[in-house]
């Protein structure tokens, strides 16, 4: 097996990595202070094609496969995680449903504007009563003539405060349980009856905004039904499954950045008359961090390749996400330890990564849910 990325993907990855390490990281303190991403950074991101990673070229996107997208996500992971989170929420789960399930009219109506970043996308499935238990969704969509009327509340929806388009999962036939849910394309900024709650105040990932989305007799054109009626939940699981590979790649990028920072600090910081890199305790932590980076990278590359080959990745996507996000948590802790008191200070990127990474073990399926999926698939097989 050849584990080297093709040359064009390596080149693109290097360009994105340079962008986040120079342009985005230079504005990191501003993003932390304002909880906003500077508009000029988003314009540059659009010029680099970051909003159109998964959108086919015929609709103005870059048209990357899973391997290419994840290579970019790893590069994004090395920079400010709020910036990377906003981009990936749009380019991954926010976009992939429309690309996979949309009809030609839907694609031509939305995808070109999504590819340029003019229309930011999000994915709305989580509710106050249904997080890991997504089958307990209570948002309803009732067919009335040539419209569906939505009522309910979604929460913790990434990109909701700035979204021009949301893919919303709602119950269309309550008698079928999880088999009676459908997906809808909703334009929250222009649809009466749709309102966005206050922006969530999160521990980390500043600039990646999330909020509640409230539907009160919101009339959605029947033409905005995405994919087959009553099969939205099944399709949503597929969207989330593929999105987990991207999270594994972003986690790998974050680990690489933390390792690079830790190596540089260990070589420069002196204690007892010599660099702390000469102490075996520090060397062991650096070695363990490198092991986490390399194993996580191999995993996401394998699973992304499987996605591109059309294979069932339900189990392996969960393996990749669980391994990489749990490993990142340990790497972030070691990075703070290597940095010492400096790693606990707000001026240190290590402190920011330590806070930001915690969310990755929760969203798009908690670590516990990943283990449930893995075990269920093993037992079924």
Indicate whether 3 pLDDT > 80: no
Structure tokens at 316: 């392996």
| Residue 1, pLDDT score | 60
d(CA 98, CA 289): 37
Indicate whether 131 pLDDT > 80: no
281 or 381, greater pLDDT: 281
| Residue 44, pLDDT score | 98
Per residue in 208-241, pLDDT tens?
Answer: 999 999 999 999 999 999 999 998 778 877 888 8
Per-residue CA distances from 156 to 92, 98, 196, 278 (Å): 17, 21, 11, 45
Which pTM was predicted? 0.95
Q: Read off the pLDDT of each residue in 42-65 and give the average, rounded to a whole number.
A: 97
Q: Read off the pLDDT of each residue in 333-354 and give the average, rounded to a whole number.
A: 97
| Residue 298, pLDDT score | 96
Strand partners, 225: 184
Contact call for residues 218 and 147 (beta carbons, < 8 A): no
Q: Read off the pLDDT of each residue in 26-47 and give the average, rounded to a whole number.
A: 97
Confidence of residue 132 (pLDDT cuts 50, 70, 90): confident
Catalytically active residues are: 364
Per residue in 287-297, pLDDT tens?
Answer: 999 999 999 99
Nearest C-alpha neighbor of 265 from the set 294, 289, 249? 289
Give the residue carrying structure tokens 């340990």: 330
């Amino acid at each position: 097996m050849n584990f080297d990325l093709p040359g064009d993907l390596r080149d693109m990855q290097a360009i994105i990595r340079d962008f986040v390490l120079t342009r985005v990281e230079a504005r990191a303190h501003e993003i932390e202070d304002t909880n906003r991403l500077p508009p000029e950074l988003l314009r540059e991101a659009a010029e680099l094609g970051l909003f159109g990673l998964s959108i086919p070229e015929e609709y103005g996107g870059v048209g990357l496969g899973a391997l290419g997208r994840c290579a970019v996500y790893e590069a994004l992971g090395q920079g400010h995680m709020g910036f990377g989170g906003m981009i990936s929420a749009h380019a991954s789960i926010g976009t992939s449903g429309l690309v996979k399930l949309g009809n030609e009219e839907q694609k031509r109506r939305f995808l070109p504007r999504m590819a340029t970043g003019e229309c930011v996308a999000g994915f709305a499935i989580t509710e106050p009563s249904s997080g890991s238990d997504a089958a307990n969704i209570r948002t309803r969509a009732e067919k009335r003539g040539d419209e569906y009327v939505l009522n309910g509340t979604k929460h913790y929806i990434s990109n909701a405060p700035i979204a021009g388009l949301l893919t919303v999962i709602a119950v269309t036939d309550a008698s079928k349980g999880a088999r009676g849910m459908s997906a809808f394309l909703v334009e929250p900024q222009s649809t009466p009856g749709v309102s966005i709650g206050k922006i969530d105040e999160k521990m980390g990932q500043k600039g990646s905004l999330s909020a509640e989305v409230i539907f009160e007799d919101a009339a959605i054109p029947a033409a905005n039904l995405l994919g087959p009626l009553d099969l939205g939940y099944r399709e949503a699981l597929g969207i989330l499954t593929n999105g987990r590979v991207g999270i594994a790649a972003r986690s790998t990028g974050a680990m690489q950045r933390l390792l690079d920072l830790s190596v540089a600090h260990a070589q420069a910081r002196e204690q007892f008359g010599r660099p702390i890199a000469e102490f075996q305790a520090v060397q062991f932590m650096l070695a363990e961090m490198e092991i986490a980076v390399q194993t996580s990278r191999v995993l996401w590359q394998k699973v992304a390749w499987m996605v591109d080959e059309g294979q069932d990745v339900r189990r392996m996507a969960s393996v990749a996400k669980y391994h990489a996000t749990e490993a990142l948590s340990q790497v972030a802790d070691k990075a703070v330890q290597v940095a010492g008191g400096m790693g606990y200070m707000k001026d240190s990127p290590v402190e920011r990564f330590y806070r930001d990474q915690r969310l990755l073990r929760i969203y798009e399926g908690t670590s516990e849910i990943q283990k449930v999926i893995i075990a269920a698939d093993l037992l079924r097989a």
